[in-house]
Amino acid sequence: MVTIVAFGNFDLEGGRGWALRTGLERHGYVVEFCRTEKPGLFAKYRDLLRQWKSRTGHADLLYVPFLGHYFLPLAWWLARRERIPLTIDTFLSLYDTEVNDRKRFSRSHPYAWMLWTFDWLCGQLADAMLLDTEEHKEYFVRHYGVSPQKILVLPVGCRTDLFVPLHAPPHEGFRVEFHGTFIPLQGIDVILDAARILQERHADDISFELIGRGQTYQAMHDRANRHALSNVTFTGSLPMDMLPAKIANADICLGILGITEKADRVIPNKAYEVLACGKPLLTGDTTAARRVLAHGENAYLSRPGDPEALAAAILRLKADPALREKLAKHGRMLTEKQFLPEKIVEPLVQWLTARS
């Protein structure tokens, strides 16, 4: 029996981490934890080293879940001592996220240099690195010189034990749902501008619920107030287990509509959650989305950054219940075909099998 040790300070409940661990277990692998919650990086290093030394069983693979970039040097050293392969769920570029997309640091800031270095180390130290889309794979090959053969593409996925089709009682009006972390690539400004357009056109039965908090939350709240948007509700953050009911109670759900470079490379967690719940997904017509989603078949794609196009798409879906039903049904079918945990991890399973 092959034993995989998950190493670092990782989220036990989040969608991607859960999906990868669950998928590996369903393929018959044993997943053990070497996990720390100590405060401070050096304390975490000491605790992880202590736990590793106290292990009694053999490990066949050292796996560093996202967000484990900072533990990669220690993981590499331990894996080389044990002569076992090392893989990291890089998932995304820290540098691209914080510097280019969220613009929290300038390119000349020392912290930006550190993030770039950790991104680069993922491609240098790991035997295999996991990313979420082919577009992110191309990004790491182009910007960090990572060998394409070293990169495995595993979709983000979601908690398919929680995000399932639910019955929702009838309601008045047409409900549009969004949940997220209010970061630039999500394009919440586009959603609010579409809401303004619909309000000005007296589409009074269309309402928006925006769930979550994050970097742009206050700015977006202020934007809604400036335009006196009576059709938008800001709910704030909710526990993950409350989101399936919110999705079920909506008529359509939104993915991402931003126009950052990163937005073109990702399919967000929320998109997989909506598909798994069997609800119509309306999201940006991006390169990554077109590779996986079929417009008008299992999702409805709208031009990113264009509130007029988004408003038109919402009106189109509102006017066509049959289309909404088709998108919902085929979106759930896509989940069952490609995005269950055991499906998501197949490239990693094939890589492990080839090494055995």
Q: Give the angle subtended at the CA of 266 by the CAs of 263 and 270, to the nearest 5°.
A: 100
Residue 77: predicted pLDDT: 98
Q: Are 231 and 210 in contact (CB under 8 A)?
A: no
Q: Return the CATH superfamily for domain 3-158+340-355.
A: Glycogen Phosphorylase B; (3.40.50.2000)
**E strand or H helix at 326, and its extent?**
helix 321-334
CATH architecture of the domain 174-339 equals 3-Layer(aba) Sandwich (3.40)
> What does the DSSP assignment read for 243-285?
HHHHHHT-SEEE-----STGGGG---HHHHHHHHTT--EEEE-
In sequence order, the 6+-apart residues with CB closer than 8 A to the CB of 40 are: none
Cα 55 from Cα 265, distance rounded (Å) = 39
The pLDDT tens digits for 128-178 are 999 999 999 999 999 999 999 999 999 999 999 999 999 988 999 999 999
What angle (nearest 5°) sits at the alpha carbon of residue 78, between those of residues 72 and 79? 85
Report the alpha-carbon distance of residue 25 to residue 340 in Å, rounded.
13
Which stretches in the chain have pLDDT values below 50? none
What's the pLDDT at 356?
Answer: 81
Q: Are the C-beta atoms of residues 258 and 97 closer than 8 Å to each other?
A: no
Q: What's the confidence (pLDDT) of residue 56? A: 86
Residues of the chain with CATH 3.40.50.2000: 3-158+340-355, 174-339
pLDDT in tens, 164-216: 999 988 999 999 999 999 999 999 999 999 999 999 999 999 999 999 999 99
pLDDT tens profile 336-351 = 999 999 999 999 999 9
Q: What is each CA distance from 141 to 134, 138, 191, 317, in whole angstroms?
A: 11, 5, 33, 39
Average pLDDT of the chain, as a whole number: 97
